[in-house]
Structure 1
């Protein structure tokens, strides 16, 4: 009989602490559930701020792409302008050379005109002399 009592007491001692532990856990559970109304507005605000930051970041990425495209276009335009400026410089140099050549041709033409005028003057003088001679010869032949 002592063994039976010992078994009953032994089983009660084990089940009583288990019941106490279960009761304590249940009390903590119910208390945590009531006190568990944690203010999550800060988390929601932070989540909203993260979304806003992501949107701003996406806009910034798009703006950077547009800026990069604009820079590439302006670089192309600048290269075209440089090419055209170089062509204009070359054409200006050619024009200056042509003007210089034209001035040389004008000087040569003036010299030729002066020479031609001198030659014409000499020709007129020769013709006058020849005319005078021929009149003298005619006069001399008439007198004879």
Structure 2
């Protein structure tokens, strides 16, 4: 029984993982650039959180790597290209417009246009097919 109670209480003693080594910035400009860049990148594990918001361990590693690349003198575009090459375009919140991402960028507008055309055709065919009767005695 004591063993059972100990095993049941173990999850209550668990702690949320925290960043073992908080990042140290050299100045406010570096910190601002880092946070702007981290907000534009997606956590590869969480998939719906930015790199800045994620608490996954890989996000800690990626944030440290981004800071290291910044200190090596890489531009934001070079850092994004490096991470996209390594993890795929998924890591970018705003993927590049390429032949393989056309559907992603223009698909919603295409679906909206097709839907609008379909509604137009249905309304036009119904209005052309049935004559409107004028019955003044009918109340609406």
TM-score by length of 2: 0.29
Higher relative contact order (CA 8 A, sep 6+): 2
TM-score by length of 1: 0.28
